[in-house]
Structure 1
């Protein structure tokens, strides 16, 4: 069952409410750190909060989060533990033109209006109608705004089509998709140019020690990259739907940074683009559309010809020409075709 996270900004909370949310966060962090040292933390239930404080506070989901993170928690304390609420403590309703989300506070449980964009409204309507399942929520602050992130899971009708799409990720072309004899290319030259501009700007700012401006530039570039990956992934999944694709296959990106050969030119190497993010965007959009997603082993996908001959010399730059049968093809497209066929097998 696919799951997405809906991030809803609270609509103009009063100063008093913001202070209360801040106090809730502080209390939750203190409780989480106290819980880490409790000798019976693995057996903890909501009743354990009475040992910590005499105040009334909902901690069910916080206890689950602490138990979950203890295994991977390297630091001795949590710097910040945002308030979490399970699905039983969250309620979404529509009041007039506004959608409200009710969750426990230090005072009482009331419906708080949220800012919902059109695509978010569609999901909220599905939750209210019961066609999507609401999961746990997290209340956090980002850029002076309070946001409620809610997990949503839903059923999709899986495609019965057997047609496969292969997607190859690369340098000169960020992504190349292949479905049978049809193909889709996303050039990387424009993106590389913009990345170099960001990099050059940060070098200038670094000479003048403008650290705050450098951080803002990094954040702006990150948002731009994320938007590009959303655009590319949406185009690829729509293309798959239009061509009756039942499964999208991509290469396993484990150790992709270790496989990268060039680190010289900013904006043109595998270290400079969020390929893993792009893969995850394609994955969840495909699953939402009922298309299966599979990872394949990357070995030899760029060196193998459709006739079966495999040789490193088959590929030279963007040109693929088989040394046995003289078959010629765009090298990245040939890679996408082989990924679609999963010639090296599926990744474990």
Structure 2
């Protein structure tokens, strides 16, 4: 699945019609929240049977849009449950849908060439689409599915999900391991390191700027905050796209059949550090980078696996014994291996899957301290 974010070339009248639809859609979603919380019900069929008639009577939405509102609420609560925010021993948290995106399916939109026909409260409207080269490539090799209508900074976008047929999987047995981090953004077992110092410095600068503007509280400070809003996230996303693209290109060139990455589920809950370090680590986009690598690798026929990363940073990738790690330096006291700690971890991840890509140079370093010299 790929998503093409397509800008809509709407008139003022069409924009007001879409705004009215967005308000009514958010209102319908908010009417469903109390039912979900009281009944602990986020099954789509069950919630439909319980609330569909109510939505049709109390909102101006059509029949299919009521179904889509039910779908959006169920999807939101399932996501909250996956994140561990919905617990059996506590009340279901209430979600507020403010300016919510509007979910469209094949019954509520029609795509023809460079035009799209969208459902609104006052009937269907015809809107021209503004395509870029990236969007055209996605639509050219896939089947349009569901979509989300969103409003960003006064512009309407149609985020269309496109289903693409998977390419044949690679038959190669070679494996690449990828270790992600903060100081080193990513390291793969072929020997490439992607530094994260520049990105970390930029993020720290953005954080410092936001703190100064928020503590100021003046009108000009609020205006500046709106100007820089989202700039940090866009920068991180761009760097992650560039890094993932380079990683997948290297894997394809080396005829890699499987990419192995760390399973970092609930890693933020396990971070034990001071407030300043926690704030920095919690803002880091490890999972986003892994997701970019995953879908780009799958698009080229490379499989992606996630493994338990326990002791991968402390184990020697040469002899398998526990070594010593000091920041970026890894040293094995048993075989004498000296390597970058993240590079060593990536090779361990590749070895977990079975067949690791061999090092360019294999060195057997003896344990000199354990040997004795006999003088004759």
TM tier relative to shorter chain: 0.7 to 0.9
Is the partner of 2:191 in helix, strand or coil?
Answer: strand
The Cα of 1:17 is off from its aligned counterpart by 0.7
Cα 1:66–1:339, aligned 2, differ >3 Å: closer, same or farther? same
The Cα of 1:198 is off from its aligned counterpart by 2.5
Equivalent-residue separation in structure 1 for 2:268 and 2:305 (angstroms):
21
Equivalent-residue separation in structure 2 for 1:135 and 1:77 (angstroms):
27
Equivalent residue in structure 1 for 2:127, among 106, 112, 127: 112
Equivalent residue in structure 1 for 2:194, among 171, 176, 186: 186
Cα 1:277–1:16, aligned 2, differ >3 Å: closer, same or farther? same
Cα 1:207–1:75, aligned 2, differ >3 Å: closer, same or farther? closer
The Cα of 1:57 is off from its aligned counterpart by 6.0
Partner of 2:233: 222
Is the partner of 1:87 in helix, strand or coil?
Answer: coil
Equivalent-residue separation in structure 1 for 2:282 and 2:117 (angstroms):
43
Equivalent-residue separation in structure 1 for 2:133 and 2:11 (angstroms):
25
Cα 1:185–1:135, aligned 2, differ >3 Å: closer, same or farther? same
Partner of 2:21: 24
1:61 aligns with 2:68: yes
Partner of 1:100: 115
1:117-266 to 2 correspondences below 5 Å: 117-126=132-141, 132-157=142-167, 158-178=169-189, 182-209=190-217, 210-214=221-225, 216-217=227-228, 219-260=230-271
Give the aligned CA root-mean-square deviation in angstroms: 3.0
The Cα of 1:106 is off from its aligned counterpart by 2.7
Alignment check: 8 A CA contact 1:172 1:189 kept: yes
Cα 1:61–1:173, aligned 2, differ >3 Å: closer, same or farther? same
Equivalent-residue separation in structure 1 for 2:62 and 2:331 (angstroms):
71
Unaligned segments of structure 1, at least 5 residues? 127-131
Cα 1:185–1:8, aligned 2, differ >3 Å: closer, same or farther? same
Equivalent-residue separation in structure 2 for 1:271 and 1:280 (angstroms):
17
The Cα of 1:239 is off from its aligned counterpart by 1.2
Partner of 1:277: 288
The Cα of 1:336 is off from its aligned counterpart by 0.5
Equivalent-residue separation in structure 2 for 1:294 and 1:339 (angstroms):
10
1:14 aligns with 2:25: no
Is the partner of 1:245 in helix, strand or coil?
Answer: coil
Equivalent-residue separation in structure 2 for 1:267 and 1:287 (angstroms):
33
Q: Deviations over 1:92-130 (max 9, x none)?
A: 222xxxx1222222333343211111010122233xxxx
Is the partner of 1:105 in helix, strand or coil?
Answer: coil
| Higher deviation after alignment, 212-221 or 184-193 | 212-221
Cα 1:81–1:332, aligned 2, differ >3 Å: closer, same or farther? closer
Equivalent-residue separation in structure 2 for 1:10 and 1:261 (angstroms):
46
Greater percentage in strand: 1
Alignment check: 8 A CA contact 1:82 1:138 kept: yes
Alignment check: 8 A CA contact 1:193 1:267 kept: no
Partner of 1:129: none
Q: Deviations over 1:52-80 (max 9, x none)?
A: 35775641322322344456572165334
